[in-house]
Amino acid sequence: MSLEKTHYDVAILSTGLTQSILSAALSKANLSVIHLDNNDYYADQWASLTLSEIDSWARSRYSKTGISHLDISYPSSSSPSPSTPPAPSSDIDEDHSPSSHQQHESPDGPPEEALKLDRHYALSLAPTLLASTGPSIDTLVKSNVASYATFRLLEHTAVFTSPETIERVPSSKEDIFKHKGLGLIDKRKLMRLLAYAASGDWEKPENRGQLEAIPFPRYLSEQHKLPPHLVRAVAYGVSLSSSSEESTLTALARARDHLRSTGRYGNSAYLVGQYGGAGELAQGYCRASAVHGGTFILAHKVKSLQRQGQEEGGEGEVAESVWSIEVQGLEERITANWVVASDEMLDELDDSPQTSRQEPPASDVGGIDVVRGILVLDRPIDFVETATEPESSYRVEAEDEEDGAKAPVKPKTPPETGLLVFPPNSLEEEGVDGGGGHSETIMALMMGEGTFSCPKGQYVFYLQTQIPSQSPRSAKEILSGAIQAILKLAGKSSPADPVPERDGEEENPTSKEEEVIPILQLVYRQKIASDGHTRKDERLFSVPFPPMSTSGPTSKTTPPTLADLPDLSTNQAERLFWQIVGEEQRSISERNASRRKKRRDPSEFQGRGGRGYDDGVQSEEETEEEEGVDFFG
Amino acid sequence: MTSQPVNPSDIPTLKILLIGSSSVGKSSLLLRFTDDEFLSPEETSATIGVDYRIKGIEVGGKRFKLSIWDTAGQERFRTLTSSYYRGAQGVIIAYDVTQRETFESLSTWFNELETFTSSSDVVKIVVGNKVDKEFSRVVTTEEGKEFAEKMGCLFVECSAKKGVGVNGAFDELVNRIISTPSLWQKTGPGVRRPGDRMPGGAPAAHAADSSRGNISLTETSGYVGAGLGYARENCSC
C-alpha cells in the first residue's frame, strides 16, 4: 500500500465526530488532509456498531483506560427457562423457521438469533439528540452532509414519576393548549414561564447573578409557583437538567434553545438520527472530506508520532519542523504540519511525543464519569398508554389526532422514538440491588426500527447519567433502578409486532405485565476529560471525548446532555478549524458574513413590514467579499 | 404516452452506486451518463469533487429520479463508509478491460457488497470500461461475461471516453430495478415491511418510503414557524 504523497497540511487521528467535521471543513478550505483511524469502522468513540462489533468493542474495553465497570450480557439467550425465551422477534426477510430454539451457546456472546440480523443493528456509543436549531444543524446543512442522512422526530418526552406512571411533558405551546389534564391556571403559569424563557429577559445583567445562584427546581416552584409535577416536567423534561442543583441561568438557556427548536421540523425540539445518529453523521463528514480530496486510511494502527526537524515543504513555504507519523503497514512515514488526534489514540501510541505528557490525573478528585447503558428489548415503552392511567398524571390528546388532519392513519402505530427522564432520586423506593436510586437525572432514549438502530420489532434504550469519579458504585448498580423500571414499563406494552401465527404456541395477548428480558444489556462508566480540546504542543491538538462546554457560566463541570453533544462537537471542530487556518481568517469570514447579510435580496423581506434591510442602497466596495477561507463557506 | 404532472415528491428515487478499483473510470461513467462529458486524464487524476448526481429519466411513461453516487476516492484504501451502501437499489461494479488486476479484484468488491447491503434484491451490473483502448485490452469480453453470469448479474462493456455503451449500461440496470417493484415501490403509510432498509442519503424523497416520518433536512417541511410553540400552515389557533 502506498500513498500518492506523504506530506499533508493536517493529519487527523481518529474519525470521531469532531475530527470528521474538522476534516471536512479543512478539505473544503483546500488544505490537504490525511485522516487515520485504528479501527476498521468509522467514528471511533462516536461509532454506531453492529451487535457483533459492539460485543468485541466491549471486550476490548475491559483493558482500556477511561472505561470502567463495564458489564455486557445477553440475558434473553442465557435465560434458563425453556418455556418462553423472548426470542428476538424474527425477521421474515431472513426466513428462518419458526421458533428455532437453537441456543447453542457461547453463553458470553450475542445470541445467534440476533446475530443473523447483525447488520440491522446500529448501536451508538454516543447516543445523541439533535436540536433542530443551532450550530450542529446549521453546519450539517451548510456542508451538505445533511443530504447524506435522514432523521426522525423525537416523538415523546415523558418524566418518570413512579413505577406505574410516566408523565408526558408538555413542551410546546401546542402541547399546553391540547393538554386535557392541565388546569387553566397551570396552563397560564406554564405559558408565562415559557414566554419568559423565550424572551431572553433573564439574560440581562441585572437578572443574571440572582438566577445563577438559585437552583432551577426551586426557582420554578418559588417564583413561578408551579406545582411539583410541572416543576419536574419543566426542569427535567424541557431543560433536561442533569441534577436538582443546576443553576436557573443554565436551565433557562436550555429551555430557550428548546423552544427555538420546537416547530422547525414538527412538534418537537429534537431530531433523532437514523442508523445510530452521531456515527452516521461522522461518516457523512468523512465522505464530504473525501469528496474535497481528503485521504482516508482505516484499520491501520498509528504507531508513533514524532517531531521531525527541517523538512522542505516545497513551494517556498518551508515548514520549520513537521510531525512524522508511523503507520503500521505503510512503508513510508507520513508527515504533516498539524496533528489533531483523539485523547485515546495519543495515549495508545507506542512512542508518543514526550513534550507534555498528560497532566497526572489530579482531576480524579473532582472528576466526573458518564454512566452509560444500552438495552435492547423486544418491545417498546408505551409512552401514550401509560400516561393515561392515574389521575395524578395528565396526558396530551392522543397522538393520532395530530396526524388525523393529514391522512387517515392506522389506529395506533407503536412509538418509534421517545425520551424518558428519571428525575434525581425518583427511583429511590425501588430498592433493587441495594438501592437502585440515583441522585442525578437519568435519561433513557428509546429508538425503534424506524431509526434503523435495530431489527424490526426491537427497541434500543440508551441510558445516561453521571457520577463523581471517586464514587465506588458500579455502572450496573447506578442504572439498575432505571433498567428495572424500563423493563417493567415495557412489560405493560405488548411486543411491538406480534409475529403472525407462530405454530400454535401463541401467547395470550391479554397476559399483562409479562416479564421482559433484555436481548442485550451493556453498562459502563466513562471518564470524562476536564476541559475542551487541549493544545498538547505547538501544532498538536488532542480532542477529548465527550466534548465539553468551555464557555459555560458554571465552574462546576457537568457532562453534556444527550442534546448538547452534537453542538459541542461542532463548536469544538470550528474552534480547531480557526486555530489551524489562522484566527485572522475568522475575522475575514465574519466580515464577509455581515456583508452577505446586507446583500440579501430585498424580496426576502417583502410583506414583513419593510422594503428591505437597508433599502438596497449600498456601495460596491461594501459588498465586495474579501478573499479568505470559511468554516464550510 | 402522456405523463401527467406529478408531485415531485411522488417520483421514486433510485439510488445507484458506483464501485470498483481506482482509476477504472467510475467518475467518467457517471459524468458521461449525467452530463455527457468526458474529462481528459489530466483533469481527473483521482476523484475530487464528485459526490453524487441526480438525473431524471422516464421508463414506460413513468418518471424516475436517479441519484448516482461516486466513491469520492474512498475506494483507494477500501474505506468506503457503510452509509455509502445504504439503501442502494442498483450497483455498478466497474473494471478496466486493459488492467487485469481491476478485473481480478471484482470478487472482493462483491464481498464488500455482500457485507454492507442488506437486501439481496439489489441489482448489480458488471461494467468493463475503456473498450476504446482495444489494442491494449487484456480482459476479453467472454471472460467478463462469464464472471457476470457466475455472479448472477448483468454485464456490459463500454467506453466512457467515446460514449459507447454507457447509456446502455445504465438503462439495463434501471430496467432491471424497475421490474423489481419491491425495490422501489412505496408502501402505504405506516406499513412497514420486514427487514426494510431505508435508502439513507438519497437527497430527495426516498424510494421505498416505508417509514412515515423520516425527516430530511434538505427538504422543506410542511411546518412553519420556529420559535415559541409550533404551528401548521393551516393552523387555526
Contact list in A for residue B206 (CB cut-off 8 A) is 150
**Per-residue pLDDT, A80:** 53
- B73 closest CB neighbour out of A153, A290, A450: A290
How many domains is chain A partitioned into structurally?
Answer: 4
Domain boundary among A527, A545, A565: A527
- CA closest to B222 among chain A residues: A265
User: What are the per-10-residue average pLDDT scores of chain B (237 residues)?
Assistant: 57 90 91 86 65 88 90 89 88 96 95 81 93 94 96 94 92 89 59 36 33 67 38 38
Residue B171's H or E segment, with its range, is: helix B166-178
Task: Give how far B29 is from chain A: nearest CA, Å.
Answer: 17
Domain boundary among A271, A293, A327: A271
Query: Is residue B13 within 8 Å of B206, Cβ to Cβ?
Result: yes
pLDDT (tens digit, 9 = 90+) per residue, A255-303? 999 998 988 888 889 999 989 899 999 999 999 999 999 999 999 999 9
**Per-residue pLDDT, A128:** 95
The reply to whether A565 falls in a domain is yes
- CA closest to A273 among chain B residues: B215
Q: Which domains does chain B have, with CATH numbers?
A: 9-183 (3.40.50.300)
User: C-alpha angle A99/A102/A105, rounded to 5°?
Assistant: 145
Cβ atoms within 10 Å, residue B234: 7
| Pair (A160, A220) in one structural domain | yes
Task: Find which of B75, B77, B187, B217 to mutate to test the A interface (most A CBs within 10 Å of its CB).
Answer: B217
DSSP A298-354: -S--EEEEEEEE----SSS---SEEEEEEETT-SSPEEEEEEEEEHHHHHT-SB---
Contact list in A for residue B216 (CB cut-off 8 A) is 146-147, 150-151
**Per-residue pLDDT, A312:** 53
The reply to whether A327 falls in a domain is yes
| Pair (A372, A491) in one structural domain | yes
By the CB < 8 Å criterion, does A291 face chain B? yes
Reading the block at residue A407, the C-alpha cell is 391522512
- CA closest to A198 among chain B residues: B228
Q: Mean pLDDT lowest for which of A146-160, A278-292, A375-389?
A: A375-389
Contact list in B for residue A280 (CB cut-off 8 A) is 83, 200
- CA closest to A136 among chain B residues: B217
> Does residue A401 sit in helix, strand or coil?
helix
Q: Which of residues 395-414 of A touch B (CB under 8 A)?
A: 405, 407, 409-410, 413
B61: left (phi over 0), alpha (psi -120 to 50) or beta: left
Span A445-454, mean pLDDT? 91
The reply to whether A633 falls in a domain is no
Query: Is residue A466 within 8 Å of A558, Cβ to Cβ?
Result: yes
Q: Using CA atoms, how far apart are residues A149 and A283, in angstroms rounded to an integer?
A: 10
| Pair (A158, A207) in one structural domain | yes
CA B143 to chain CA centroid, Å, is 25
pLDDT grade, residue A159 (50/70/90)?
very high
Reading the block at residue A148, the C-alpha cell is 447524506
Q: What CATH number has the domain bearing residue A73? A: 3.30.519
Task: Strand B52-59: give its sheet, edge to edge.
Answer: B52-59, B62-69, B13-20, B90-96, B123-129, B154-157
Span A251-255, mean pLDDT? 91
Q: Mean pLDDT lowest for which of A81-85, A180-184, A229-233, A405-409?
A: A405-409
Phi, psi of B5 (to 5 degrees): -60, 135
| Pair (A440, A294) in one structural domain | no
**Per-residue pLDDT, B48:** 66
| Pair (A202, A316) in one structural domain | no
**Per-residue pLDDT, B226:** 35
| Pair (A373, A498) in one structural domain | yes
Range of the domain at A89: 67-114+368-380+415-527
Half-sphere exposure at residue A154, Cβ-oriented, CA atoms within 13 angstroms: 32
Burial (CB < 10 A; 0-12, 13-18, 19+), residue A67, is buried
Q: What is the mean pLDDT of chain A?
A: 79
Q: Do B195 and A94 touch (CB under 8 A)?
A: yes
Span A107-128, mean pLDDT? 87
Q: Do B214 and A290 touch (CB under 8 A)?
A: no
**Per-residue pLDDT, A576:** 93
The reply to whether A602 falls in a domain is yes
> Does residue B44 sit in helix, strand or coil?
helix
Query: Is residue B17 within 8 Å of B91, Cβ to Cβ?
Result: yes
A252: left (phi over 0), alpha (psi -120 to 50) or beta: alpha
Q: What percent of chain A has pLDDT over 90?
A: 42
The reply to whether A562 falls in a domain is yes
pLDDT grade, residue A84 (50/70/90)?
very low
Q: Mean pLDDT lowest for which of A457-471, A549-563, B31-45, B175-189?
A: A549-563
Q: Which of residues 74-133 of A touch B (CB under 8 A)?
A: 91-94, 119-120, 132-133
User: C-alpha angle A493/A497/A503, rounded to 5°?
Assistant: 110
- B81 closest CB neighbour out of A132, A147, A287: A287
Span A210-236, mean pLDDT? 92
Q: Using CA atoms, how far apart are residues A147 and B199, in angstroms rounded to an integer?
A: 12
Q: Do B83 and A416 touch (CB under 8 A)?
A: no
Residue A557 above 80 pLDDT? no
Domain boundary among A249, A271, A293: A271
Which tops the pLDDT comparison, A498 or A100?
A498
Span A194-218, mean pLDDT? 89
Task: Give how far A384 is from chain B: nearest CA, Å.
Answer: 17
Task: Find which of A23, A152, A291, A451 to mutate to test the B interface (most B CBs within 10 Å of its CB).
Answer: A291
The reply to whether A142 falls in a domain is no
Contact list in B for residue A409 (CB cut-off 8 A) is 189-190, 212
Residue whose C-alpha is closest to residue A33's, from A13, A12, A19, A15: A12
For A364-432, strand residue ranges (E) read 368-377, 417-422
> Does residue A543 sit in helix, strand or coil?
strand
Q: Do A265 and B223 touch (CB under 8 A)?
A: yes
Q: Do B118 and A120 touch (CB under 8 A)?
A: yes
**Per-residue pLDDT, B191:** 40
| Pair (A553, A487) in one structural domain | no
| Pair (A376, A516) in one structural domain | yes
**Per-residue pLDDT, A450:** 85
Burial (CB < 10 A; 0-12, 13-18, 19+), residue A407, is exposed
Residue whose C-alpha is closest to residue B173's, from B93, B85, B81: B93
By the CB < 8 Å criterion, does A42 face chain B? yes
**Per-residue pLDDT, A117:** 87
Q: What CATH number has the domain bearing residue A282? A: 3.50.50.60
Reported ipTM: 0.84
CA A59 to chain CA centroid, Å, is 23
Q: What CATH number has the domain bearing residue A185? A: 1.10.405.10
pLDDT grade, residue A623 (50/70/90)?
low
Cβ atoms within 10 Å, residue A184: 7
- Length of chain B in terms of residues written: 237
Q: Mean pLDDT lowest for which of A140-154, A366-380, A586-600?
A: A586-600
The reply to whether A136 falls in a domain is no
Residue B174's H or E segment, with its range, is: helix B166-178
Contact list in A for residue B234 (CB cut-off 8 A) is 405
Q: Using CA atoms, how far apart are residues A383 and A381, in angstroms rounded to an integer?
A: 6
**Per-residue pLDDT, B114:** 87
**Per-residue pLDDT, A79:** 56
pLDDT grade, residue A509 (50/70/90)?
very low
Residue A526 above 80 pLDDT? yes
**Per-residue pLDDT, B11:** 80
| Pair (A570, A606) in one structural domain | no
DSSP A108-169: SSPPHHHHTTGGG--EESS---EESSSHHHHHHHHTTGGGG--EEE--EEEEEEETTEEEE-
| Pair (A159, A263) in one structural domain | yes
**Per-residue pLDDT, B118:** 65
Residue A87 above 50 pLDDT? no
Q: Using CA atoms, how far apart are residues A191 and B192, in angstroms rounded to an integer?
A: 38
pLDDT grade, residue A504 (50/70/90)?
very low
Task: Find which of B81, B212, B214 to mutate to test the A interface (most A CBs within 10 Å of its CB).
Answer: B81
- Taking the CA atoms of A402, A406, A409 and A415 in sequence, report the sign of the dihedral they define: negative
| Pair (A350, A375) in one structural domain | no
CA distances from A31 to A23, A294, A581, B42, B74 (A): 9, 9, 9, 21, 18
Residue A283's H or E segment, with its range, is: helix A278-291
The reply to whether A141 falls in a domain is no
Task: Give how far B76 is from chain A: nearest CA, Å.
Answer: 8
Q: Which of residues 447-506 of A touch B (CB under 8 A)?
A: 449-450, 452, 455-456
Q: Using CA atoms, how far apart are residues B67 and B53, in angstroms rounded to an integer?
A: 6
| Pair (A569, A616) in one structural domain | no
This prediction has a pTM of 0.85
Residue whose C-alpha is closest to residue A481's, from A521, A421, A418, A431: A431
pLDDT grade, residue A599 (50/70/90)?
confident
Cβ atoms within 10 Å, residue A314: 9
Span A65-93, mean pLDDT? 64
User: C-alpha angle A50/A55/A56, rounded to 5°?
Assistant: 105
